[in-house]
Amino acid sequence: MGRLDGLRIVVTRAAHQAEELARPLRELGADVLLVPVIGIAPPADPAPLREAAGRVDEYDWILFTSVNAVTAFVAMLPSSPAECRIRIATVGAATHHAAEANGFAVALTPERYVAESLVEALAGEDLKGQRILIPSAAVTRDVVPAELRKLGAHVDVVEAYRNVMPSEAAERAAAFREPYPDWVTFASSSAADNLIRLIGSEPLRKVKIATIGPITSATVRKHGLEVAAEAEIQTVEGMVRAIRKHA
């Protein structure tokens, strides 16, 4: 795998997370264009999240599927995460590290970096009657809660944050004009949906698309677009590796 000298690569992650991907791309010689099409906003109604955090010890498990969920939940906790006696499960290395950095003791992180892998990992547990809390984005797939309920668990899903379109997104999206960038990167389905809502799919036929994994790739293809590179390991590092492999 070689360098990325001279390639113009668009990073669509939220502004506060963009550098995690932009930095290694720059170090490999790429010209990185920051076009954040996701912003993180508080829940429309913070009361359910605050209430769940206030009675956290009534739960047997908390499932975190993103770093943003960890951050939002910790902000509502009335005490230190280190004092929580419940078991913590996370999806992905970044979420695992964020949970530990905030003081949680993580009991379970599946090898696969998709939410459905939590169901597989927890299937070996006796979940009958277990209470599970999932702090999540306002709009999220309901596959995991539904499958856990089939296993006998009582699952509460609370809105921890919202993915919103940043005010500067339209101005930044001017990057998708001639001369077009070489690559655009999507680290989530929300990023793909938001950018396509903003500029349409046609400009994206003129660039190569890299995704963080199969779920995001499926979203891209849903819009009639092709995926040139998909991360084998669903992390930022995996996405950089996929682009280098293709390049």
Please report, in tens digits, the pLDDT of each residue of the chain (247 residues total).
689 999 999 999 999 899 999 999 999 999 999 999 999 999 999 999 999 999 999 999 999 988 999 999 999 999 888 888 899 999 888 889 999 999 999 999 887 766 677 888 888 788 899 999 999 987 665 788 988 999 999 999 999 999 889 989 999 998 898 899 999 999 989 899 999 999 999 999 999 999 998 889 999 999 999 999 999 988 899 999 999 999 8
Name the residue with tokens 């682009």.
243
**Positive or negative torsion for Cα 226, 20, 141, 168:** negative
Given 163, 188, 204, the domain boundary residue is 163
The DSSP bridge partners found for residue 108 are: 89
Which pTM value belongs to this model?
A: 0.82
Nearest to 186 by CA among 153, 144, 229: 229
Let me know whether 57 and 136 are in one domain: yes
Let me know whether 158 and 209 are in one domain: no
Let me know whether 159 and 78 are in one domain: yes
Distance CA 210, CA 182 (A): 11
Q: What is the pLDDT of residue 73?
A: 96
Distance CA 125, CA 132 (A): 13
Distance CA 71, CA 78 (A): 14
Nearest to 138 by CA among 158, 156, 154: 158
Let me know whether 63 and 144 are in one domain: yes
Let me know whether 173 and 96 are in one domain: no
- Residue 56 lies inside a defined structural domain of this protein: yes
Let me know whether 176 and 114 are in one domain: no
Asked whether the beta carbons of 33 and 181 are under 8 A apart, the reply is yes
Let me know whether 149 and 126 are in one domain: yes
Q: What is the pLDDT of residue 223?
A: 97
Let me know whether 208 and 231 are in one domain: yes
User: How many domains in the chain?
Assistant: 2
Let me know whether 124 and 158 are in one domain: yes
Q: What is the pLDDT of residue 246?
A: 92
From residue 166, how far is each of 10, 39, 194, 212 by CA, in Å?
16, 5, 10, 21
Let me know whether 197 and 229 are in one domain: yes
Range of the domain at 157: 47-163
